[in-house]
C-alpha cells in the first residue's frame, strides 16, 4: 500500500493550541530521541527483521524484538488494544512500525502514532495507520485531549529520565485520560547509556535510556502526578495503567 501524504491526520485533534487560543510554542527536541531516527534501527525496520540490540556501556546487550514489532499484534498487544476501546483517541508514543495504530484505526478507534524514525513512520502509514515523524518532546496535536497514551515495547525508557517522560505524558492526556506503559518483567530501575548495534557490529551514537519494572514505574508515575489504576501480565509481558 502506498504511503499517505505526510500531512497531519484529521481526528478533531490536529489543531494544537494553548489554553489562551494561540498556537503553543514548539518544544526543543529531547537530545536522546534522535539516535533512533536511522542507522541500525532504520535499517532493521525497513527490512522487517533483526537482529538488533541495545548495547550498554558496560558491554551487556538487550536484543530488540524487531520481527514482533513489524508483525501483527500478538496476544499481549491485544490486551492493550482492548483497554483502549471506548476510551477516546489514542496516542502511541514511539509507535515504531505502527502495528498498534493500524489495528486501532481498523477497529474505528481514532489513533495517532509518533516516532522519530522516518522508516518507522513510513511503515506505519503503509499499514493504514496515521503517524507523524516527531519526538514526544516536540509539539504534538491534541495536547491535553488524548484519552489514552501508550508507551509500549520499552518506550518508558525514552530519554533515560522516566520522571521527565511521565510528566510530559501527563500534559498530553485529557483530564480523565490514562497512560498504558509496558514495564520490565523484573524489579529493575536503571538509568543507562546505550547504542544501537546490528548483527555486523555497526553501532549508532550513544544515548541515555531507562529500564523500569512495575514498582519503579508506579513510583515515578506518582511523582509525575499520575495515580495507579491497574497492573497486568499477558503472554509473558507486563503492563501498568496510570491515570490523571
User: pTM of the predicted model, to two decimals?
Assistant: 0.86
Which pairing describes strands 61-63 and 90-93: parallel, antiparallel, or unpaired? unpaired
Under CATH, which number does the domain 34-243 receive?
3.40.50.150
What is the full per-residue pLDDT of the chain (244 aa) written as tens digits?
323 323 333 333 433 333 333 333 334 334 444 556 668 999 999 999 999 999 999 999 999 999 999 999 999 999 999 999 999 999 999 999 999 999 999 999 999 999 999 999 999 999 999 999 999 999 999 999 999 999 999 999 999 999 999 999 999 999 999 999 999 999 999 999 999 999 999 998 999 999 999 999 999 999 999 999 999 999 999 999 999 9
CB 51 within 8 A of CB 62: no
Q: Which three cell numbers stand for residue 102?
A: 493500524
Dump strand ranges (E) for the chain. 52-56, 61-63, 90-93, 111-115, 131-133, 146-151, 173-183, 189-198, 207-212, 227-234, 237-243
d(CA 210, CA 7): 32
Amino acid at each position: 500500500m502506498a504511503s499517505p501524504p505526510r500531512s497531519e491526520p484529521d481526528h478533531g485533534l490536529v489543531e494544537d493550541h494553548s489554553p489562551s487560543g494561540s498556537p503553543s510554542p514548539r518544544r526543543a527536541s529531547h537530545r536522546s530521541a534522535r539516535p533512533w531516527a536511522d542507522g541500525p534501527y532504520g535499517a532493521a525496520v525497513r527490512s522487517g527483521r533483526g537482529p538488533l540490540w541495545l548495547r550498554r556501556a558496560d558491554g551487556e546487550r538487550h536484543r530488540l524484538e524487531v520481527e514482533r514489532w513489524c508483525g501483527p499484534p500478538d496476544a499481549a498487544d491485544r490486551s492493550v488494544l482492548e483497554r483502549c476501546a471506548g476510551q477516546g483517541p489514542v496516542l502511541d508514543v514511539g509507535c515504531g512500525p505502527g502495528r498498534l495504530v493500524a489495528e486501532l484505526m481498523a477497529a474505528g478507534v481514532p489513533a495517532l502514532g509518533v516516532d522519530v524514525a522516518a522508516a518507522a513512520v513510513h511503515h506505519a502509514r503503509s499499514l493504514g495507520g496515521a503517524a507523524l515523524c516527531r519526538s514526544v518532546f516536540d509539539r504534538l496535536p491534541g495536547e491535553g485531549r488524548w484519552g489514552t497514551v501508550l508507551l509500549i515495547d520499552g518506550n518508558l525508557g525514552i530519554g533515560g529520565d522516566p520522571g521527565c517522560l511521565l510528566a510530559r505524558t501527563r500534559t498530553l492526556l485529557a483530564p480523565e485520560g490514562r497512560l498504558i506503559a509496558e514495564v520490565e518483567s523484573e524489579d529493575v530501575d536503571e538509568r543507562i547509556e546505550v547504542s544501537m548495534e546490528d548483527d555486523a557490529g555497526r553501532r549508532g551514537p550513544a544515548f541515555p535510556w531507562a529500564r523500569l519494572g512495575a514498582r519503579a514505574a508506579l513510583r515515578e508515575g506518582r511523582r509525575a502526578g499520575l495515580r495507579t489504576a491497574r497492573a497486568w501480565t499477558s503472554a509473558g509481558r507486563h503492563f501498568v495503567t496510570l491515570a490523571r
